[in-house]
Amino acid sequence: GAVVSQHPSRVICKSGTSVKIECRSLDFQATTMFWYRQFPKQSLMLMATSNEGSKATYEQGVEKDKFLINHASLTLSTLTVTSAHPEDSSFYICSATPGRRRTEAFFGQGTRLTVV
């Protein structure tokens, strides 16, 4: 099946620094990518939807200036957590799809972010 690679799988950073998470579709062109965060024992919470070449659409309550999403190519999207705080510690997951709802979405393996 199609592969989505997310990097890094784990990262520890200091408060106030920025962290970039990459999401790559390895064998298909991803017209749409989704970014989620997940707290322990909770479901995935959609943060934003990004379409290649367009600005990301953020969900209500998600700060666009804090969580910068770039989807500059059909195979790469990045999420940058700026000025990280301990409460940003979470499991971040990206998803990519070659189409819209007619096709399945493929997920990265997730990034465990710990802010100390």
Partner 1 sequence: DAKTTQPNSMESNEEEPVHLPCNHSTISGTDYIHWYRQLPSQGPEYVIHGLTSNVNNRMASLAIAEDRKSSTLILHRATLRDAAVYYCTAWTDKLIFGTGTRLQVFP
By CB under 8 A, name the binding residues for partner 1.
1, 4, 6, 34, 36, 43-46, 49, 91, 93-95, 100-102, 104-110, 112
3-state helix vs strand vs coil in the chain, percent to 5: 5, 50, 45
CB 106, min distance to partner 1, A: 7
Q: Annotate 19-42 with DSSP letters as a single string.
A: EEEEEEESSS--SEEEEEEE-TTS
CB 72, min distance to partner 1, A: 21
Looking at the Cβ atoms of 16 and 64, the one nearer to partner 1 is 64
CB 83, min distance to partner 1, A: 26
Looking at the Cβ atoms of 78 and 95, the one nearer to partner 1 is 95
Q: Are 59 and 3 in contact (CB under 8 A)?
A: no
Task: Please state, in angstroms and rounded to a whole number, the distance separating the CA atoms of residues 89 and 38.
Answer: 10
Task: Please state, in angstroms and rounded to a whole number, the distance separating the CA atoms of residues 88 and 84.
Answer: 6
Looking at the Cβ atoms of 63 and 104, the one nearer to partner 1 is 104
Looking at the Cβ atoms of 68 and 105, the one nearer to partner 1 is 105
